[in-house]
Amino acid sequence: MAIRDLLIRDESEQDADAISEVTVAAFESLEVSSHTEQFIVDALRSARALTVSLVAVMDGRVVGHVAFSPVTIPGGVGGWYGLGPVSVLPMYQRRGIGTALIREGLSRLKRLGARGCCLVGHPQYYRRFGFENIPGLVYPGVPAEVFFALSFDGHFPQGSVAFHEAFGATGPTALAEYTPPAGADLP
């Protein structure tokens, strides 16, 4: 199946179970994973902290997902977001689906007026999007070589980044009434 058959759209209420299944499958064999990524997505959704949440659909099936949520940086720096988790079903990996999800998500963040995005991830993968290691911008407890930032306005803040408390989720959360992600009304 070609990437041209891929549809990327905002998540809907009906996608929650499929997103969890995709996320579990995508991280299942990764040794560096704590295998809590599906709980993080659910907790972000429950907290209404998913600024952008996109699914990749092929043949009517959700095969990928990416989440973007606000991060906190000292000094009142606003407009920065965290990318992750990003998940693609193993049988659909290495076809450009994750890349397409990330590019569309970053584009939507820019349209929302975001100043930048950061993440913890694999160095060889995320540099292709323009992410870089920034001296003075850190995520405590994570080696500098796997913490990346991408500025949309050319300016990088300094200090310790804090991801949403949902990133501490280790189990299921009670889901609140569904609220579409903030970017869902974008064209």
| C-alpha distance from residue 134 to each of 53, 168, 180 (Å) | 26, 24, 32
- Give the residues across from 94 on adjacent strands: none
Structural domain total, the chain: 1
Task: Print the domain residue range for 150.
Answer: 3-169
Under 8 Å CB-to-CB from 167, ≥6 apart: which residues? 40, 82
Decide if 89 is inside a domain: yes
Decide if 123 is inside a domain: yes
Decide if 182 is inside a domain: no
Q: Residue 177 above 80 pLDDT?
A: no
Decide if 73 is inside a domain: yes
Q: How far apart are CA 43 and CA 164, in angstroms?
A: 10
pLDDT in tens, 63-81: 999 999 999 998 878 999 9
Decide if 18 is inside a domain: yes
pLDDT of amino acid 123: 86
- Give the SS3 label for residue 63: strand
Decide if 180 is inside a domain: no
Nearest to 44 by CA among 183, 177, 175: 175
Decide if 175 is inside a domain: no
130 token code pair: 């323009």
Domain CATH code at residue 106: 3.40.630.30
Decide if 154 is inside a domain: yes
pLDDT in tens, 14-24: 999 999 999 99
